[in-house]
Structure 1
Amino acid sequence: MFIHRGTTDFLHRLTLWEHLDFVAAVEELPQQEFQKHAKQLLSTYKLTEHAHSYPTTLSKGMQQKAMLILAMITNSAVYVIDEPFMGLDPNAMKLFLESIEKERAKGAGILMSTHVLDTAEKVCARFIMIHEGRLHVAGTLDEIRDQCQLPLGSLYDCYHKIAEGTGNE
């Protein structure tokens, strides 16, 4: 999607609720279903009292939760999530992980990019490891362990073996 600079300025002038309403309109979500789902997500992520605040006035963690809510309001078949844990406190991380698990249980595909390898190891079924812009290994944790020759290694251990093998971290 191409966003013109004026559009970006426009988006900064919307409250969190107006952002949600905008996404619902673009996605043509039924109004009653949207209202119910939006209120539930705002409550779950403890942002109900901030629904009519501008995202720029929220803390980094609250902004991150707002972005997650905006993504989840659509009930997508596929979610592409980049660094979802940045700025989230442990409780918000738990809520997010529970939310994506619910989406996965409904059949949604989830592609997540993260540097938080210990959490990724706990929640992801398959991995690709990129270092210095190059794909080094891919597969399940056991397959990556085999490829890295670390039968009991963590994802973190495997990444460091790859990084050491390329000469840089």
Structure 2
Amino acid sequence: MGLQVNNLKAGYAGHVVIDDLSFSVPNGQIVALVGLNGAGKSTTLKQVIGQGRLLGGSISLDGRDLTSQPFEYKQLLAYIPEQPILYDELTLAEHLHLMLEAHGQDDKTHWSRVEELLSMFRLNGKEHWLPIHFSKGMKQKVMLVAAFAVDSQLLVIDEPFLGLDVLAQKQLIALMKEKAQNGTAVLLTTHLLDQAKQYVDSFLLLEEGRVSFAGSAEELAQSKNKTNDSLDDLFS
């Protein structure tokens, strides 16, 4: 089933940003929400992760409705924000235990996965470090480890490559593909369209708060009279 967004209406301070927005992210698919600044991408993601006030419509994940079943919905969700969110007083290990415990998955099996991810992102040996000792890129890697250690039905990622080195970017793409292959629905935002076409199954183009296009990279390019080799020039 995956993520279902139906006739969504949302905004802030009395201003409607997205109106009558509908789309789906099937299980096992990687879907990129793209568009110019102000198109409503961040507002949409906030609604999907349950941090915004719904003005209309519905959001569900594998049959769990966000409004009527918020706890059940959010337990199926993992989220990687654009800017890392860490607690100054918690060590790296404490952050990861907290994330696993919030999903009811703080056990030896999942901690073994954590150790694999820490090694992958070169954070092993730093389990007792506090966030003050991490660079921005390292903080972003902490968020990646936390999200990918959890067994989730939906993974939401906001601009995933900001602050990451080239190796970490490649590792992130491999992890997203692995998640999708295991049946997780993946929703992300990105401005790096040429890179995204290498791993994204479908693009959703958001314009003025509504989906104006849904389809493959090639179909997206054709819709804007571009070639598939120039997606980064889509809005020029």
Q: TM-score with structure 1 length normalisation?
A: 0.81
Structure 2: how far apart are the matches of 1:126 and 1:115?
15
Q: When the two structures are aligned, how many residues end up with a matched partner?
A: 153
Structure 1: tracts of 5 or more residues without a match: 3-9, 161-169
Tell me by how many angstroms 1:65 deviates: 0.7
Q: Find the counterpart in structure 1 of residue 122 from structure 2.
A: 46
Structure 2: how far apart are the matches of 1:84 and 1:43?
19
Question: How large is the Cα RMSD of the aligned pairs?
Answer: 2.1
Structure 2: how far apart are the matches of 1:145 and 1:23?
39
Structure 2: how far apart are the matches of 1:45 and 1:147?
38
Q: Find the counterpart in structure 1 of residue 77 from structure 2.
A: none
Question: Matched residue of 2:90: which SS?
Answer: coil
Range moving further from structure 2, 29-38 or 85-94: 29-38
Q: Find the counterpart in structure 1 of residue 184 from structure 2.
A: 108
Instruction: Call closer, same or farther: CA 1:153–1:133 in 2, change over 3 Å.
Output: farther
Structure 1: how far apart are the matches of 2:228 and 2:161?
26
Range moving further from structure 2, 149-158 or 44-53: 149-158
Q: Find the counterpart in structure 1 of residue 96 from structure 2.
A: 20
Instruction: Call closer, same or farther: CA 1:151–1:96 in 2, change over 3 Å.
Output: closer
Highest CA radius of gyration, 1 or 2? 1
Q: Is the 8 A contact 1:129 1:137 kept in 2?
A: yes
Residue 118 (1) aligns with residue 194 (2): yes
1:55 to 125, 131, 136: 131
Q: Find the counterpart in structure 1 of residue 231 from structure 2.
A: 155
Q: TM-score with structure 2 length normalisation?
A: 0.59
Q: Is the 8 A contact 1:83 1:115 kept in 2?
A: yes
Structure 1: how far apart are the matches of 2:222 and 2:150?
38
Residue 73 (1) aligns with residue 138 (2): no
Instruction: Call closer, same or farther: CA 1:53–1:132 in 2, change over 3 Å.
Output: farther
Structure 1: how far apart are the matches of 2:106 and 2:132?
28
Greater fraction helix: 1
Tell me by how many angstroms 1:60 deviates: 0.9
Q: Is the 8 A contact 1:16 1:66 kept in 2?
A: yes
Identity %: 33
Instruction: Call closer, same or farther: CA 1:126–1:134 in 2, change over 3 Å.
Output: same
Structure 2: how far apart are the matches of 1:120 and 1:61?
20
Q: Which has the higher contact order (CA 8 A, sep 6+)?
A: 2
Tell me by how many angstroms 1:141 deviates: 1.3
Structure 2: tracts of 5 or more residues without a match: 1-49, 52-85
Structure 1: how far apart are the matches of 2:120 and 2:164?
14
Q: Find the counterpart in structure 2 of residue 5 from structure 1.
A: none
Question: Matched residue of 2:155: which SS?
Answer: strand
